[in-house]
Amino acid sequence: MNQIPSSHPRAKSLYIRERLVNAFDGGLVAKEGLMAHGRGEAFDSLMGERTSKSAKKAILAAAFMLKNAQNPVISVNGNIAGLCPREIVLLAKQTGAKIEINLFYATTARRRNIYKTLKKNGAGLVYGMNKKNSTKLSGLDSARRIVDKLGIFSADVVIVPLEDGDRTLALKKAGKKVITFDLNPMSRTAETADITIVDNVVRAIPLLIKSCKSPKKISFDNSKNLSLAIREIKQNLSKRASNA
Ligand code: PTJ
């Protein structure tokens, strides 16, 4: 039963939370994924729960990079599969990107549930399912090092939504361009990626899909854009403080 009244001032955020909890009950999301979401919610609140100017800029840069990639791959973990399975499939279709399941807290059951959800949402071939095609990313000790030879391993651009820090660095060392979505502009992933979209995946992926329809080249510097995201948080807080 839906217990969230639509009149609740933070109904949207609570609906997103509900989606993740349902995905946890459905065996897609790791327990730790619930906590990661909570951290994201806190940053989203600091950002004012809307897509900022810095995020819009990063989305434009990401659309251009994706549309010009030779072999882009979207890496899917439990949280992204729980929150945006349909959008991931649409983004893959819009950009010609492959989809690969890659988990930090890897279990066979969760991988299978995520696979079924992606398929139900219209995914074509999903990489990361066939052990015969797996290989290891060097410089990484977590389960995320296991990647598909035909997917992430051979990609030129990898999208890593909601990532933990280490793999972004390993992907960069392997010569790949990395696009990430991370509500925390100070995370290691945010700082290491080529393009960091500091926004909630639920809002940002539909905007990215739209931008991919007419990609434009813009001048983009990730560290400058992250500084802008931090200033946006600061401005938001100052505004709240002066209203208090
Ligand atoms: O499914 P698995 O096993 O691959 O595990 C996935 C999680 C998310 C548990 C794993 O990657 C993890 O532990 O991630 P971290 O290190 O907690 O990092 C997640 C980052 O994503 C944090 O910086 C959060 O602020 C951010 N985040 C959380 N929810 C969202 C988000 N960013 C954008 N949109 C969100 N909805």
* Calpha distance 108→209 (Å, rounded): 30
pLDDT value for 192: 96
pLDDT in tens, 44-65: 999 999 999 999 999 999 999 9
Residues 212, 215, 218: CA angle, nearest 5 degrees: 130
* Calpha distance 104→78 (Å, rounded): 9
pLDDT value for 235: 96
Distant-in-sequence, close-in-space partners of 134: CB < 8 Å, separation ≥ 6: 128, 146, 147, 148, 149
pLDDT value for 236: 94
| Rg of the chain in Å (alpha carbons) | 17
pLDDT value for 198: 98
Residue located nearest, by CA, to atom 36 of ligand 1? 200
Look at strands 157-161 and 72-76 and give their pairing. parallel
Instruction: Compute the half-sphere exposure of residue 106: CA atoms within 13 Å on the CB side of its CA.
Output: 14
Below-50 pLDDT ranges, the chain: 1
Most ligand 1 atoms within 8 A of CB, residue of 49, 51, 79, 179 to mutate? 79
Residue 104 CB less than 6 A away from ligand 1 = yes
pLDDT value for 3: 82
pTM over 0.85: yes
Cα of 9 vs its chain's centroid, Å: 26
Instruction: Compute the half-sphere exposure of residue 29: CA atoms within 13 Å on the CB side of its CA.
Output: 25
Ligand 1 centre to CA of 244 (Å) is 31
Counted residue by residue, the chain has a size of 244
CA distances from 213 to 11, 67, 149, 207 (A): 30, 9, 29, 10
Q: Is the dihedral of CA 112, 168, 145, 134 positive or negative?
A: positive
Distant-in-sequence, close-in-space partners of 174: CB < 8 Å, separation ≥ 6: 137, 138
Ligand 1 centre to CA of 163 (Å) is 5
Ligand 1 centre to CA of 35 (Å) is 8
In 21-123, which ranges are E strands? 72-76, 98-101
